[in-house]
Amino acid sequence: MGNQNDIVVVSAARTPFSRFGGALRLMHSMNLGVVIIKEVMRRAGLAGGDIDELYYGMCIQSEAALKYNVIARQALLHAGLSADTVSLTIDRACCSSMTSMQLARKSLLLGEAEICMAVGGENMSNTPVVMNGHRWGTGLGKPVMVDHLNPVMYQDFNSLALDAGEVALQYGVSREMQDEWAYGSQMKYQEAKKAGKFKIGEELTAVEIPQRKGDPIAFTEDEFPKPGTTMEGLAKLKTVYESPTVTAGNAPGLDAGAAAMIITTRGVAEKLGIKPLAVILSTASIAREPNRIAEVPGFAIQLALQKASLELDALKVIEINEAFAAVPLVSTRILSQNDDDLWAKLKAMTNVNGGAVAIGHPVGASGARILMTAIYELRRQGGGTAACAICGGLAQGDAAIVRVDESCF
């Protein structure tokens, strides 16, 4: 059933996400990538030589440099994939693993590959402090060390928090509204967890953490969620990085984790006897003025819907990465075209199991994470269509439209 050239997801999983300085702080992101590559291969029942191309997204290349870069190549070899597997390491900021999926999809559509993998990984706890120029000496000047995480911004641009907060206010999205969204994200995550939605074997797979002595410890749950969050507590937090609205409470953490998915054509999946998890109907990438980061997921979803020849009312689920609580609020406002009733409906169907404010945001992994979260939620709801979108630094945006139909069960 369905077109043999349809692009389908046949395996998707992620590690639990660790908070900054948490359980995964000493693991290089590449090692997390190895874990998740092995897991999606196991779930699909594929052998190491079956993957034609692997795309690997990560943002913090200074962390990659600890392992001498080409992380995609290193990870696939350590994971037991064939040495003939073509790979590419991608930095498109937080969009990186969604972009990885897009590039893999293009190879499949062009007939240049039959089975591809998209991976994303990041360990922000493992980000080094860098001392540039020391090789040639500084004369009488003091060496300068740079922390790439403090502040979270790009050279010669505003902080991301400042841009997100200012744009939010332009759309009438107040600090209180952002705190309410953050509180809702935390509470929805707790409800989803109690319902068994974030259990090992579906979206999640365990990570074995080596110990100095004794057996490894299994890391099995997202570490960042804060079940004790209250509106009163959020309201007391100070804004950060000169933002008018963004605080540590309505933004995600600096997290660690990895995610991966295997995609192929429906025809190849049928030949291999693999049941698809979902069909990828369309993808889209956009970019805007560098301060418009909170807007780009909304515009990216509009373009992806257009490419899929669908209207907004076709959607059952929306996933928008919570780079800040401001982002899904502004982006759904854009999708609603200032219709307050429609905005309320869109907000109710967005990030129904919580988002990055609760789950965490290991930047290179988040694009793939929101995509699989949407897919697994559609499957629990008996099928349907979802939109997923993520913003990346300096106002880049990626989106995808996925469908779970009767052929996926």
Cβ burial of 150 (10 Å; 0-12, 13-18, 19+) is: exposed
pLDDT for 307-359, tens place per residue? 999 999 999 999 999 999 999 999 999 999 999 999 999 999 999 999 999 99
Question: Does residue 147 lie in a domain region?
Answer: no
Position 266 scores a pLDDT of 98
Confidence of residue 178 (pLDDT cuts 50, 70, 90): very high
Task: Answer yes or no: are the C-beta atoms of 279 and 379 closer than 8 Å.
Answer: no
Position 66 scores a pLDDT of 67
Closest Cα partner for 54 from 46, 241, 271, 318? 46
| Active-site residue, 28 included | no
Position 140 scores a pLDDT of 75
| Active-site residue, 391 included | yes
Q: For 153-182, what is the mean pLDDT?
A: 94
Looking at the predicted structure, is the pLDDT value of residue 160 above 70? yes
Question: Does residue 409 lie in a domain region?
Answer: no
For residue 91, give the amino acid letter: D
Question: Does residue 362 lie in a domain region?
Answer: yes
Q: For 106-123, what is the mean pLDDT?
A: 97
Q: What is the mean pLDDT of the chain?
A: 95
Looking at the predicted structure, is the pLDDT value of residue 117 above 70? yes
First to last CA, the chain: 12
Confidence of residue 134 (pLDDT cuts 50, 70, 90): confident
Looking at the predicted structure, is the pLDDT value of residue 63 above 90? no
Position 265 scores a pLDDT of 98
Find the CATH number of the domain harbouring 390.
Answer: 3.40.47.10
For residue 126, give the amino acid letter: N
Confidence of residue 69 (pLDDT cuts 50, 70, 90): confident
Q: What percent of the chain has pLDDT over 70?
A: 99
Question: Does residue 150 lie in a domain region?
Answer: no
| Active-site residue, 361 included | yes
Separation of alpha carbons 317 and 17, rounded Å: 22
Position 346 scores a pLDDT of 98
What's the structural domain count of the chain?
1
Which of these is catalytic: 94, 95, 116, 388? 94
Q: For 111-137, what is the mean pLDDT?
A: 89
- Residue that wins the pLDDT comparison between 224 and 69: 224
Confidence of residue 137 (pLDDT cuts 50, 70, 90): confident
Which of these is catalytic: 95, 116, 391, 408? 391
Q: Which structural domain range is residue 202 located in?
A: 7-127+156-404
Which of these is catalytic: 59, 95, 116, 361? 361
Position 149 scores a pLDDT of 80
Confidence of residue 67 (pLDDT cuts 50, 70, 90): low
Position 369 scores a pLDDT of 98
Residues in Cβ contact with 68 at an 8 Å cutoff, skipping those fewer than 6 apart: 74
Position 127 scores a pLDDT of 86
Q: What does each C-alpha distance from 307 to 280, 336, 399 come to in angstroms? A: 12, 19, 11
Question: Does residue 139 lie in a domain region?
Answer: no
Question: Does residue 138 lie in a domain region?
Answer: no
Q: For 193-206, what is the mean pLDDT?
A: 96
pLDDT for 236-260, tens place per residue? 999 999 999 999 999 999 999 999 9
Question: Does residue 149 lie in a domain region?
Answer: no
Three-class SS state of 7? strand
